[in-house]
Amino acid sequence: MNPPLLRIRLLGGFGLVREAGAPLAARWSRPGARTLVKLLALTPDHALHREQIMAVCWPHAELRAALGSLRVALHTARHTLEPELPPRGSSAYLTADGDLLRLVPDTVRVDTDEAEALARRALHTGGRRELAHALEALTGELLPEDRYAPWAEPARERLARRRADLRRALAANPRPHGGPTLRPEADAARVRLDWALHLDRSGRYEEAVTVVREALHSYERQGLRDACTLAAARLAEVLGRGRGGGEALAVLDAHPPGAGASDDIRAAHHMARSAVLSYRGRYEEGLAAARAAEHCAEAARGADHPVLLARSLAQQTVCLGLSGLADEAAGPAESALAPAEESGDRALLATVLSVLRETERRAGRHGDALAYGRRALALAEQAGRPTATAFERANLAELHLLRGEQADAERLALASVELAEPFGGTALAFALTALARVRVAVAPKETARLLERAGRCAKDGGHLQAIDEVRTAWAELVAVRQAVP
């Protein structure tokens, strides 16, 4: 029997996913073993001499001590990648070839390899859609937990050059709408919008706001009304996730679609309004805006048609669910799945699956919710979306808790907090709340500390749903305390 394929994620944070087999541990017992796998994954041919690895991992150790540490790290890495491996069995993923250590090419896939291959093809023969898809695949910071590690710098620089190549190619590749060619300043603004989307999905929200503002101001100077409407929609969605909800609505009001605007522009405007209204707890208004977005998306015939349709349907589910109308939420969620899959956008599909997971959870179908949640988590990881990945881990942790699976709940909640920690704000608030719920029955004092910190993070992020989740978790803690004699 062939071993299950192992996927190594480097973009957005280190992670491992196997397509089958025993689940992999979220934490490594030895940091040197994890660094060993990262080094091999970063190297273009995924093979390194033992001395190269020892020089990075144990630079100040004597040779004998370094060799001993390497043996222990290699053993730990092999059994972490393959928990069912017998004590003296041959690894399907990490082998030794003389003094070379190597990841097995037939059984291991690394996300940066696949993203760079996609970029090379797009730069050689692709059009604008292929270039944008390749840039999407390169979204996510390379190993943010090792941001200042010198051994990661060559790969970091190589990926930065590849992203720059793609952005330049996008700027030189006109949109397929026909009509007059945009001026160079408009091309530069369009590239900024593309880049801002990737910053947003990488959890770098402040940078995304800055870049979109620059694009919007550029379009304003040129009097490009439709472009202003699209840029304003993008800016409003990023602002709306935090404390900028009021400004987000003002931006949308300042740049409504013109009388001759196309259906895709109208759909983007209504979609942004719905998202901002739902972030502010105005769910009925948000639902009306999402339905208006769906109506426009149905009429749109551009390349973005499936994206707009899937987003508008998923947004209706969110508004209905948060309004307490869970029975009505299932229909739009299920209808969103086909266009999300058609779009080829992994991040969008992950979002739709996340919405379906929540719909099933509210209906009490926890097994189906887990299935959707696991798919959403895998796609968020593949798309290099660290904050979305942390959010999915937190929700899966709570699902396992509902099923009485304490160990799985603990593992996922800890992994969620670990990934969300560098981002703080809303992402960390959800992660800490999930961990608090896991610990509430066994460690109420620690739970209180976790919720205090979660409350501060939710307030900093300004996300109403996160604030409500923390408040609900506090009520659960109070109920547990009152139940103790």
CATH code assigned at 71:
1.10.10
Three-state SS for 396-457 is HHHHHHHCCCHHHHHHHHHHHHHHHCCCCHHHHHHHHHHHHHHHCCCCHHHHHHHHHHHHHH
Indicate whether 363 belongs to any domain: yes
Using only the alpha carbons of the chain, give its radius of gyration: 24
pLDDT at residue 189, rounded to an integer: 64
Task: Say yes or no: 320 and 301 in one domain.
Answer: yes
Does 270 share its domain with 329? yes
Predicted local distance difference test score (pLDDT) of residue 179: 44
Which of 338, 336, 317 lies closest to 328 in space, CA to CA? 317
Torsion of CA 161, 116, 416, 287, to 10 degrees: 90
Packed helices 128-137 and 184-201: angle between N→C axes, nearest 10 degrees:
30
- Please tell me the predicted confidence (pLDDT) of residue 256: 93
Q: Has residue 191 been placed in a domain?
A: no
Residues 338 and 352 occupy one common structural domain: yes
The CATH number of residue 330's host domain is 1.25.40.10
In this predicted structure, what is the pLDDT of residue 129?
Answer: 78
DSSP state of 179: S
Q: Is residue 330 part of a domain?
A: yes
369 and 398 both lie in a single domain: no
Examine the domain organization and report whether 411 and 322 are in the same domain: no
Relative to beta strand 47-49, strand 15-18 is: unpaired
Position 226 in a domain:
no
Query: Do 367 and 430 share a domain, yes or no?
Result: no
Say how many domains are in the chain.
3
| Co-location of 274 and 344 in the same domain | yes
Per the DSSP assignment, residues forming a β-bridge with 102 are 47, 95
Give a yes or no: residue 357 inside a domain.
yes
Per-residue pLDDT in tens (0 to 9) along the chain, 485 residues: 678 899 998 987 888 888 766 567 666 778 889 999 999 999 988 999 999 999 888 888 888 898 999 999 999 999 989 888 888 788 999 998 888 999 999 999 999 999 999 899 888 876 777 888 888 888 778 887 787 788 888 898 889 888 888 888 877 766 554 444 444 455 566 666 776 776 776 667 788 888 888 888 888 888 888 889 988 998 998 888 766 668 889 999 999 998 888 888 899 999 999 988 988 888 899 999 999 999 998 887 666 678 888 889 888 888 888 787 877 877 888 888 888 888 777 778 888 899 889 888 888 899 999 999 998 888 887 767 788 889 999 999 999 999 999 999 999 999 999 888 888 888 899 999 999 999 988 888 888 999 999 999 988 877 788 888 899 988 888 887 776 55
CA dihedral 45, 46, 50, 56 (to 10 degrees): 110
Which of 384, 401, 426 represents a domain boundary (last residue)?
384
Estimate to the nearest angstrom the gap between the alpha carbon of 370 and the chain centroid.
18
Domain final position from 63, 86, 112: 112
Q: Is residue 204 part of a domain?
A: no
Whether 256 is covered by a domain: the verdict is: no
**pLDDT tens-place string over residues 212-271:** 888 888 888 888 888 899 889 989 988 887 666 688 899 999 999 988 888 888 999 999
Contact present, 333 and 352 (Cβ < 8 Å)? yes
pLDDT at site 182: 44
Decide if 128 contacts 170 (C-beta within 8 A): yes
Q: Is residue 16 part of a domain?
A: yes
* Last residue in a domain, options 112, 134, 150: 112
Pair (441, 351) in one structural domain: no
Give the closest residue to 12 by CA, choosing from 147, 157, 142: 142
Is residue 378 located within the same domain as residue 275? yes
Domain extent for 403: 390-485
Q: What is the pLDDT of residue 175?
A: 56
Q: ∠ at Cα 62 (57, 67), nearest 5°? A: 60
Residues 365 and 473 in one domain: no
What pLDDT, on the 0 to 100 scale, is given for residue 180?
44
Considering the domain architecture, whether residues 367 and 475 belong to the same structural domain is answered as no
Let me know whether 88 and 14 are in one domain. yes
pTM, two decimals, is 0.60
